[in-house]
Every structure is written in structure tokens, then in C-alpha cells.
């Protein structure tokens, strides 16, 4: 293992180990990207002496960035090597930095695409946030762009299609990267596959800094979109501009907005159009130059409508270039010269050499050959400037020119209005999809006033934009803080109601990244150019979603700590099950009295939390599913035990719990209901993922606040039927993965 002067105090050595140092082959100047082109240590050489973070054994340093380090590590559970990105203590102690790190991890983990780096796990170990991702071989595009060399045409097209395709996968989930640059684009070796890295500035339908100052500029100078440089609201078309800058740099060997200072760079981005790539590099076909220049349009509306549409344009450009190549080759290899006439047809004697029978010795032949060569050179130059299209036997038609959009005047839409919102949720957990039904009314009294007829040639006649406002108090909105939370819903003529009629529209958006609180959702009917016509609003409360919480600020108290304990009881049995490595919860049949039935009991030592009614803010019950512990969908319900159950009940021995001596024998519905958890482990994706099963709710919070006893006991039952018991990891199975009560204290 590499040795050197550096050590990391957040790593836990199991013995005397040498401090880690970066390998000579590691790339350390590419920010926080994931890299490894060195030799991998086989798992057989791993030992218990390696430093670790959680269940990851750290092998070597791969790189460093502004917020932390990237290590090559071995997942001791799944026996695979990963890139482990760890936030250093300086930044993990800062809430905003930690939130950014975890938001990046969650944003990347939500995307499943071959052109986006795969995140295996996101978590914390003793307060140190980390994420484990696939270990990549190769290098970033930064090495290519720094060389100042233009890449080959075929490589450029391939990189462009894969890069935009990866961004398209993110955009489909409502995630905008906001920091596309060569250092965040990885070329995998030896496959050449492109991987998009580091969604550290990514935002979902609403960004992490949704209600930050609109004048703030986030991103990398030189690759910012104009709207990003102005601090305006962004959508996926901002990524297309930044990608266009990267591809321009690859095509031309130089950046389009190069300047000596950052202010000069921003001025160029905002005000100047760069020269076309084919003007700088004549080898760049005009079709590719057209696509890149459209990506670099100053206004988002002038770029491609989506990354998917951009991929199609790159494909079409490549096909058009290939077609022209085939046409040019046909001119050279399949000419149609005039048929040669024989001597008998002309009546003239053929030219015969007087020296050895060689025609080349004849001066007239040599002069003719020179003239033919000159003509060929002239013809080749003419073809290079497009002349081949006039002489090719089977010319390929150029791509059809874009049809100009028909302008829709806002005045022609005055008869349209959003009249009501018949279906709207009053609250939603953060991160969940929110769906609304709104009614669009066409008040036109004649066909002549019908917007569908007036704008019959327009592809899009109107659109509905969705905005979110923080509510100052019920019924009031802070209009200056308005932010878009969904792409506008485009309305064609077929989607508009006939004169005098209504039509329902469905609008939905994801509340990912939005700070919990009270908001107003506003729907605004607009012209295709964004001119407001009419609006409606409705209140929405966004609740904190602990199911996706990063557990920052939570203290975990496990059944393996203090006077904690965990066991299960089975109907018809007096055996003690507390010493087993798993906790079983069973319900085979809802009708048979003789069916398998078992309940779990979890005891937590809360003696260290005083004045709980004032101290506890939120709480979660965390559990880990045992491998093979259950396949399929399962629902568990939790109840707070309030009967005089001995606080010192034991897992085994004389005072162990049985069905007859526990609350299971009575009507458990009489106990406080704490909440339920529903999960699906059909594919085994939850097995051995520590603390992945989470149960929370106001019932659990209130139960803990109301208790002043040193310990509390939770009763778990399964309300769904199954062919086998649900098995959870117990304290005997793994102390670090035993059931836990995660508690966040009020500030």
C-alpha cells in the first residue's frame, strides 16, 4: 500500500498502518472528479490492517478537490472496488457545504444511464459524509482541451452524442447540471464511453438554492450560459449552451470566449458571438458548425428545445456528412466518361510509338497527361467547395430548412383563461411528485374569435407555466421570490377546448430540493413567448421527507447501546429468540388462527435525552433488512408500548418476553400508533443496506416526547401477508446495523 506523510483523521485504522499518500499515477488536478488509471489491488491482498470508513477499506488516494478527497476503496460487503468521495471535516462542519455535497450525491444517484457515473451508496460515517461510486479508468476531457488540439471529426460526433445523451437522462428527471465543463466529462478507457461527473451544482425541479438571491452566479467562468452569468432562472437549455462551449473547444482547439480576466469572459458570453467553428477549422463540416452555433445561441428559446432534440440533430448532421462523402466517392470511383471511339470509327491510324512501343515517349501523350492532371486538380478544388452536388449522379438532398415558427399574438388569446383547480394536494412530502388538475376555458363566442382558428398554423398556441412562491402568511405570496418548478406545458390547437367549452389539464412537478414550508403554487397561462394571459394559485405545504433525509443532525441510538435490546415473540411458543442474529416479524394468513404470527420488540435507552418534550424535534426508527429477509412488498406498523411492561425485560433467560407475557396477546390497536413503513424488496435491492428501512411520523415524535422513562419499547407487527417472515438485522447479528432510533434535537 502506498505510504507517505499524509494521514486522514476520519479514517479508522484497525492496527498500525502507514498513512496514505496519492499514487504517482493518480490525477490530482482535475477537481473532484473520479479517476484511476493505476493498477487495482486484488481483494485477496486486503487485510484487516487497512484503514476504513464505515464498511469501506481504503486502498489509496486518487485525487483531491476543494471539498474533500477521492479514495480507491474496497466495499467489504459486496467485495468490489469503488471510488469513495469523502468530504473533509472543515467543510462537513459547514451546513451549506454538507448540503451541497449530499445534494450532489442524491442528484447523481437518481440518474440511471450509461453516460452518467453510477452512485452505489450515499451516507455518513461518524459525521463524515461520503458517497461510493463506480471506479472509472481513463481521463477527463480537460487533458484534450488543454493540449489545444482539435479532436478527430468522428470522435467529436461520438463524444457530443454521448455527452448530450447523458445530460438528457438527467433532464428527464428534472435535474440540470449547471457546471458542464471538460473536467466534468470523463472518457472511459478502453471503451471510449463518455461519463458525466460531479452534479455538485445540480438542481432538480427546484434548485438547492431555490430562493437564494437571483443575482448569485454559480458555475465555472468560460462555460456559463448567458442566463447563468446574469443570475437568472435556469432550465435544461442552460446545459446545452455549456456543452456547446465544450464541443466548440474540441472542434477548434480553442475556447469560444477566451479572455484574460473573468469579467472580460462574462462580457463576451453575454454580448459576443464567437466565429463559426468551420471558419476557424475548415475541416469542420458546416452541419456540425450549425449544430454547435445553435447550442451557443444567446437566448434559450433559440437553442434546441431539449437535450433529446439536440442528440437527434447531431445524428442528422453525422448522417448528412456521411451521405456527402458517399456522393464524393461515387464521383471518383464511378465516372461516366464519353465512350472512346475506335480507329475504325474515326478512320484515322492509331498513334504508335517509335521507341520501344511506349506511348509516353510521344510528346503529344505527355502534354495531354499534364493537361489531364491539371484538370483533375482544378476539379478537386471545385468539389471541395460544394461543386460535387451539381455533378454527382445520385446527389443527397440537404436537410430541410427549419420552418419559421408562426408568431402567436397575446391579444388573440384573451378569450382563454384558467378558471379553476378542481384537484390539488394540500401538502406533500419533499421529493414527491405533486399532481394538479386545472381547467382551461375558451370563452370565444364565434369561430372568428377562436384562438385555434386564428393561430391554425402555429405548432404551439399557448403554454401553462408553474411557479412556486414562499407564503408570507396564508393567502399571501412573496411575488418577488417566484421560481419556476416545471417546464411550461405546451398547448397545441388540439389541446385547447372549443369555443364556449372547458378542458382539464394535468400539471405535475417534483418537490425535490425545496425547503419544507408553506408555499403558493401559481399556474400562469402564457403566450408561447411567455406573455402572461391569466393566472390561478393554490396553497401547498411541503413536509420534510425523512425517507430521503441524509441524517445530518440526527443522533442514532441503537438497541446495542446501554440498556437497549431487541427480540421477537411467536404465537404458541415460549422459546427465547433474543439471542438470534435476526429479528423475525411474520404474518402468513389473516384468517387462520393457527398461522405463523410473530411480533418484534425493540428497546432503546433514552436516558441521555433530558426534557424530551422540549428537546426532540424529529425522530426516525431505522432498520436493516437481512439478506434474503423478505422478497416482495411488505408493510410494517409500529406501536408504542405503554402498559406496565418491565423496562428491564431480557432477550433471553428467565425474564425473556413471550407471546403470553407481552402486549402481543391483547388488542395492540389500543396502543399509540407510531407510523408505518412500506417497502418493496422484489429485486433484493434493500438487503444489507444499513438503516435503509425508515419509519417516521408525528405519532413517533409525540410518543418519544411524552415519555420520561429511561427506556422506551417499540412493538413492530406486519400488516401485509407473505409466504415467509420478514427478517431484520439484530444487535447479535451486527451491532452497527442493529435497529436504531435517530433523533434530531431542536436548536
pLDDT tens track for 139-177 = 888 888 887 777 888 889 999 999 999 999 888 877 888
pLDDT single digits (tens) 643-686? 767 656 888 888 888 898 888 988 888 899 999 898 888 878 78
Give the single-character DSSP code of 257: T
Q: Is the pTM of this model over 0.85?
A: no
> Could you tell me if 539 and 575 lie in one domain?
no
User: Could you tell me the pLDDT band of residue 104, with boundaries at 50, 70 and 90?
Assistant: low
507 vs 465: CA distance, rounded Å: 9
| pLDDT at residue 26 greater than cutoff 70 | no
Cis bond upstream, residue 190 (ω within 30)? yes
DSSP for 696-717?
E-HHHHHHHHH--SSEEEEEEE
CATH number of the domain enclosing 432: 2.60.40.770
In a domain, 654, yes or no: yes
Percent of the chain at pLDDT > 70 equals 75
> Could you tell me if 157 and 114 lie in one domain?
no
> Could you tell me if 177 and 77 lie in one domain?
no
> Could you tell me if 503 and 622 lie in one domain?
no
In a domain, 452, yes or no: yes
In a domain, 694, yes or no: yes
In a domain, 311, yes or no: yes
388 vs 383: CA distance, rounded Å: 5
Task: Please state the rounded mean pLDDT for residues 358-371.
Answer: 50
3-state secondary structure at position 34: coil
User: Could you tell me the pLDDT band of residue 480, with boundaries at 50, 70 and 90?
Assistant: low
pLDDT recorded at residue 167: 92
Higher per-residue pLDDT: 742 or 4: 742
Instruction: Give which of 189, 177, 92 is closest to 136, Cα–Cα.
Output: 189
| pLDDT at residue 358 greater than cutoff 50 | no
The alpha carbons of the chain give a radius of gyration, in whole angstroms, of 34
pLDDT recorded at residue 382: 47
pLDDT recorded at residue 68: 75
| pLDDT at residue 737 greater than cutoff 80 | yes
> Could you tell me if 689 and 574 lie in one domain?
yes
pLDDT recorded at residue 344: 40
The last residue of one of the domains, among 506, 529, 545, is: 545
In a domain, 30, yes or no: yes
Structural domain for 68, as ranges: 1-136
Higher per-residue pLDDT: 38 or 480: 480
Higher per-residue pLDDT: 448 or 94: 448
3-state percent helix, strand, coil for the chain, nearest multiple of 5: 25, 25, 45
614 vs 701: CA distance, rounded Å: 11
CATH number of the domain enclosing 90: 3.30.200.20
Contacts 24+ apart (CB under 8 A), 188-195: 188/136, 188/137, 188/138, 189/37, 189/137, 189/138, 189/139, 190/137, 192/158, 193/114, 193/115, 193/162, 194/115, 194/158, 194/159, 194/162, 194/163, 194/166, 195/115, 195/116, 195/117, 195/136, 195/166
391 vs 337: CA distance, rounded Å: 13
> Could you tell me if 541 and 561 lie in one domain?
no
> Could you tell me if 59 and 21 lie in one domain?
yes
User: Which residues have a catalytic role annotated?
Assistant: 179
In a domain, 231, yes or no: yes
pLDDT recorded at residue 207: 30
Percent of the chain at pLDDT > 90 equals 33
> Could you tell me if 528 and 414 lie in one domain?
yes
pLDDT single digits (tens) 683-724? 787 876 888 899 988 899 999 999 988 899 999 999 888 888
> Could you tell me if 153 and 117 lie in one domain?
no
Instruction: Give which of 107, 134, 106 is closest to 120, Cα–Cα.
Output: 134
> Could you tell me if 116 and 228 lie in one domain?
no
User: Could you tell me the pLDDT band of residue 616, with boundaries at 50, 70 and 90?
Assistant: very high
> Could you tell me if 573 and 489 lie in one domain?
no
pLDDT single digits (tens) 318-357? 888 887 776 655 444 444 444 444 444 444 444 333 334 4
211 vs 115: CA distance, rounded Å: 31
| pLDDT at residue 380 greater than cutoff 80 | no
Higher per-residue pLDDT: 687 or 443: 443
Distance from the Cα of residue 199 to its chain's centroid: 7
CATH number of the domain enclosing 206: 1.10.510.10
The last residue of one of the domains, among 274, 297, 320, is: 320
| pLDDT at residue 398 greater than cutoff 90 | no
The answer to whether the CB of 87 falls within 8 A of the CB of 98 is: yes
In a domain, 381, yes or no: no
> Could you tell me if 532 and 564 lie in one domain?
no
Task: Please state the rounded mean pLDDT for residues 576-593.
Answer: 81
pLDDT recorded at residue 147: 79
Cα-based distances in Å from 144 to 65, 152, 364: 20, 11, 54
Q: Highest-confidence range of 32-41, 91-100, 199-208, 218-227, by mean pLDDT?
A: 218-227
| pLDDT at residue 203 greater than cutoff 50 | no
Higher per-residue pLDDT: 636 or 360: 636
Minimum mean pLDDT range among 95-99, 290-294, 656-660, 670-674 = 95-99
Number of domains in the chain: 4
Where does 511-631 show beta strands of DSSP type E? 517-526, 532-543, 554-558, 565-570, 582-587, 597-605, 616-623
Cα-based distances in Å from 684 to 511, 625, 633, 716: 28, 10, 11, 22
The last residue of one of the domains, among 508, 528, 545, is: 545
User: Could you tell me the pLDDT band of residue 274, with boundaries at 50, 70 and 90?
Assistant: very high
Task: Please state the rounded mean pLDDT for residues 306-320.
Answer: 89
Task: Please provide the average confidence, as pLDDT, over all residues in the chain.
Answer: 78
In a domain, 359, yes or no: no
pLDDT recorded at residue 686: 81
- Grid coordinates given for 377: 486538380
Amino acid at each position: 500500500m502506498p505510504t507517505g506523510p499524509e494521514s486522514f483523521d476520519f479514517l479508522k485504522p484497525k492496527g498500525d498502518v502507514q498513512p496514505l499518500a496519492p499514487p504517482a499515477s493518480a490525477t490530482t488536478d482535475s477537481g473532484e472528479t473520479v479517476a484511476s488509471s493505476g493498477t487495482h489491488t486484488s481483494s485477496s491482498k486486503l487485510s484487516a490492517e487497512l484503514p476504513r470508513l464505515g464498511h469501506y477499506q481504503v486502498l489509496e488516494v486518487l485525487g483531491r478537490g476543494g471539498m474533500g478527497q477521492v479514495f480507491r476503496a474496497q466495499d467489504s460487503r459486496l467485495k468490489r472496488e469503488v471510488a469513495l468521495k469523502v468530504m473533509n471535516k472543515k467543510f462537513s462542519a459547514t451546513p451549506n457545504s454538507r448540503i451541497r455535497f449530499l445534494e450532489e450525491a442524491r442528484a447523481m444517484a437518481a440518474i440511471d444511464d450509461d453516460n452518467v457515473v453510477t452512485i452505489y451508496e450515499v451516507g455518513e460515517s461518524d459525521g463524515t459524509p461520503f458517497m461510493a461510486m463506480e471506479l472509472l479508468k481513463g481521463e477527463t476531457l480537460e487533458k484534450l482541451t488543454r493540449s489545444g488540439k482539435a479532436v478527430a471529426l468522428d470522435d467529436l460526433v461520438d463524444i457530443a452524442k454521448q455527452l448530450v445523451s447523458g445530460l438528457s437522462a438527467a433532464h428527464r428527471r428534472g435535474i440540470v447540471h449547471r457546471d458542464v465543463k471538460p473536467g466534468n466529462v470523463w472518457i472511459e478507457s478502453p471503451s471510449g464511453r463518455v461519463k458525466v461527473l460531479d452534479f455538485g451544482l445540480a438542481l432538480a425541479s427546484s434548485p438547492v438554492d431555490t430562493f437564494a438571491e437571483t443575482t448569485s452566479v454559480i458555475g465555472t467562468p468560460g462555460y456559463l450560459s448567458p442566463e447563468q452569468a446574469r443570475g437568472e432562472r435556469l432550465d435544461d437549455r442552460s446545459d446545452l449552451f455549456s456543452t456547446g462551449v465544450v464541443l466548440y473547444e474540441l472542434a477548434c482547439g480553442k475556447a469560444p470566449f477566451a479572455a484574460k480576466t473573468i469579467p472580460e469572459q462574462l462580457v463576451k458570453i453575454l454580448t459576443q458571438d464567437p466565429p463559426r467553428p468551420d471558419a476557424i477549422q475548415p475541416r469542420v463540416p458546416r452541419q456540425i458548425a450549425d449544430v454547435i452555433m445553435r447550442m451557443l445561441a444567446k437566448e434559450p428559446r433559440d437553442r434546441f428545445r431539449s437535450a433529446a432534440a439536440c442528440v437527434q440533430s447531431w445524428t442528422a448532421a453525422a448522417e448528412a456528412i456521411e451521405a456527402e462523402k458517399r456522393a464524393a466517392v461515387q464521383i471518383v470511383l464511378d465516372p461516366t466518361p464519353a465512350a472512346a471511339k475506335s480507329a475504325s470509327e474515326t478512320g484515322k491510324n492509331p498513334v504508335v510509338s517509335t521507341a520501344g512501343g511506349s506511348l509516353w515517349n510521344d510528346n503529344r501523350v505527355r502534354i495531354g497527361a499534364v493537361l489531364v492532371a491539371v484538370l483533375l486538380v482544378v476539379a478537386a478544388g471545385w468539389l471541395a467547395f460544394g461543386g460535387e452536388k451539381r455533378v454527382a449522379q445520385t446527389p443527397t438532398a440537404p436537410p430541410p430548412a427549419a420552418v419559421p415558427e408562426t408568431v402567436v399574438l397575446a391579444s388573440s388569446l384573451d378569450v382563454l383563461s384558467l378558471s379553476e383547480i378542481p384537484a390539488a394536494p394540500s401538502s406533500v412530502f419533499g421529493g414527491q411528485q405533486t399532481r394538479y388538475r386545472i381547467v382551461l376555458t375558451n370563452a370565444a363566442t364565434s369561430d372568428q374569435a377562436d384562438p385555434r382558428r386564428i393561430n391554425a398554423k402555429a405548432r404551439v398556441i399557448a403554454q401553462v407555466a408553474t411557479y412556486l412562491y414562499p407564503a408570507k402568511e396564508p393567502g399571501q405570496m412573496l411575488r418577488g421570490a417566484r421560481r419556476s418548478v416545471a417546464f411550461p406545458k405546451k398547448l397545441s390547437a388540439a389541446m385547447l377546448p372549443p369555443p364556449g367549452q372547458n378542458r382539464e389539464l394535468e400539471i405535475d412537478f417534483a418537490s425535490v430540493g425545496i425547503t419544507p414550508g408553506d408555499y403558493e403554487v401559481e399556474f400562469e397561462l402564457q403566450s408561447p413567448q411567455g406573455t402572461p394571459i391569466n393566472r390561478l394559485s393554490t396553497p401547498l405545504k411541503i413536509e420534510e421527507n425523512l425517507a430521503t433525509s441524509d441524517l445530518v443532525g440526527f443522533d442514532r441510538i441503537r438497541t446495542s447501546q446501554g440498556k437497549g435490546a431487541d427480540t421477537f415473540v411467536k404465537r404458541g411458543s415460549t422459546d427465547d429468540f433474543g439471542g438470534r442474529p435476526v429479528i423475525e416479524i411474520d404474518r402468513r394468513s389473516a384468517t387462520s388462527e393457527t398461522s405463523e404470527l410473530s411480533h418484534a420488540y425493540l428497546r432503546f435507552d433514552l436516558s441521555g435525552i433530558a426534557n424530551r418534550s422540549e428537546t426532540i424535534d424529529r425522530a426516525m426508527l431505522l432498520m436493516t433488512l437481512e439478506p434474503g429477509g423478505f422478497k416482495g412488498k411488505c408493510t410494517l406498523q409500529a406501536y408504542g408500548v405503554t402498559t406496565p411492561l418491565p423496562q428491564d425485560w431480557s432477550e433471553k433467560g428467565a425474564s425473556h418476553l413471550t407471546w403470553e407475557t407481552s402486549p402481543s396477546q391483547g388488542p395492540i390497536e389500543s396502543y399509540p400508533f407510531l407510523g408505518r413503513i412500506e417497502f418493496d424488496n422484489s429485486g433484493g435491492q434493500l438487503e444489507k443496506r444499513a438503516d435503509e428501512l425508515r419509519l417516521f411520523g408525528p405519532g413517533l415524535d409525540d410518543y418519544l416526547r411524552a415519555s420520561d422513562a429511561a427506556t422506551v419499547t417499540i412493538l413492530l407487527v406486519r400488516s401485509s401477508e407473505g409466504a415467509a417472515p420478514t427478517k431484520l438485522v439484530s444487535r447479535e447479528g451486527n451491532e452497527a446495523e442493529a435497529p436504531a432510533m435517530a433523533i434530531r434535537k431542536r436548536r
